[in-house]
Structure 1
Amino acid sequence: MKRAISLISRVITIVMFSCMLLFAYLAISSKFTGGKPNVFGYEIKTVLSGSMEPAFYTGSIIAIKPVQSGTTYKPGDVITYKLQDGTLVTHRVKEVNAAGEEVMYVTKGDANDAADSEPVSHKNVVGSYTGFTIPYVGYAADYARSKTGSALLLIVPGILLLFYAAISIFDALRQIDNKEPADLSQ
């Protein structure tokens, strides 16, 4: 029983410490990249619609590789581009039209019936989908960006760490109390 509790205690400590390091890394890297979460050179984006299902679902997070040259994509590639109002869209390239130095992409969401109404200029492409997605984590990420969510992400782990520390201290005190006093008559 004690081994199981000790193992669970170690696992909880490792998981909490790993999460703390990951959150610290993401917070620091997002400060340096202007608020864009960046992991090992890839930007993390949240999927806000179902237009690309089943490739990735609403609420998922995806990793995109920031664009080096927006003119190198071919049909079948999944790109993320910026609309005129600043909204980011991730759709699949269906057709590439080149006229001189200008490259235009006809895009379509996998779940959509028709191609997007406006072709996308290579200048508006911000990156390409890398194939990495985690379903539904985007809901939590968006909530974490809210004031309530960020407060909870600070308070709840703090309370859990305090609770864990209190349990560890009481356990250590109990072990000290249960030890027999040493025989000093020898």
Structure 2
Amino acid sequence: MTKTKWWKWTSNILYGVMFIFLLTMIIIVMSSRASGGEPELFGYQLKTVLSGSMEPTFKTGSLILVEKLENPTNLKKGDVITFQQDEANVVTHRIIEVLKQGDNTFYRTQGDNNQDADTNPVLSQNIVAKYSGFTIPLIGYFLQWASSPLGTGILLIVPGVLLLGYAGWTIRQAIKELETKMKEAAKPEDAEKIVS
């Protein structure tokens, strides 16, 4: 494989990977903007871990995938759930005890890294989702920044500028290659004229 072909092949792969990554990030950010909350993909919600209460299960700044529940009354001890702690706070902790009181189901929860259980039991109707087991470390920091007005603006403008720059560079390379081929094609004719 020649150096030129190798460079073309590598740059095309890098371009494709960058384009897919940026497109995915834009879709995630737009999804969160449109819904007014956390972004969603294929029925799963993406949550950013903002504290270390669940370490080592997932670390601060990680991105976790949680699944919305149709029936939050059939959870069991050991499940990791996301629940509305109060009007402003959503928490993801592990169920350490299931409590039944008549028709009502409550869950006592605790962070894996916390010494004590959470003060108040969680009502089943306050449960938002269940942890799917999928975590991406550190990406949560990026997603949180990307959801800010500055991050959204940069995420929409920078990829466009990069793609235009890459398109311009590709066109310039194609023109150079075409000029080189035209010069090479013209050389044999000049040689024939000199001989005759």
Number of the residue aligned with 1:101:
103
Equivalent runs, 1:21-40 vs 2, <5 Å: 21-27=23-29, 29-30=31-32, 33-40=35-42
- Greater helix proportion: 2
Change (3 A) 1:143 1:27: closer
Number of the residue aligned with 1:12:
14
Equivalent runs, 1:68-79 vs 2, <5 Å: 68-79=70-81
Is 1:150 the counterpart of 2:116 in the alignment? Answer: no
Distance in 2, matches of 1:33 and 1:143, equals 17
Change (3 A) 1:21 1:157: closer
Q: Deviations over 1:110-162 (max 9, x none)?
A: 00001001111111001100000101101000100112111211222122112
Letter in 2 for 1:176: L
Distance in 1, matches of 2:155 and 2:35, equals 22
Structure 1 unaligned regions, length at least 5: none
Instruction: Report the 3-state secondary structure (helix = DSSP H, G, I; strand = E; otherwise coil) of the residue aligned with 2:96.
Output: strand
Number of the residue aligned with 1:81:
83
Sequence identity percentage: 43
Query: Runs in 1 of length 4+ with deviation above 6 angstroms?
Result: none
Give the greater-gyration-radius structure (CA).
2
Give the TM-score taking structure 1 as reference length.
0.91
Change (3 A) 1:130 1:22: same
What is the number of equivalent residue pairs in this alignment? 185
Give the TM-score taking structure 2 as reference length.
0.86
Q: Deviations over 1:9-33 (max 9, x none)?
A: 2112211331244245435644664
The question of whether the paired residues in 1 share the 8 Å contact of 2:29 and 2:143 is answered with: no
Equivalent runs, 1:1-186 vs 2, <5 Å: 1-27=3-29, 29-30=31-32, 33-179=35-181, 180-181=184-185
Structure 2 unaligned regions, length at least 5: none
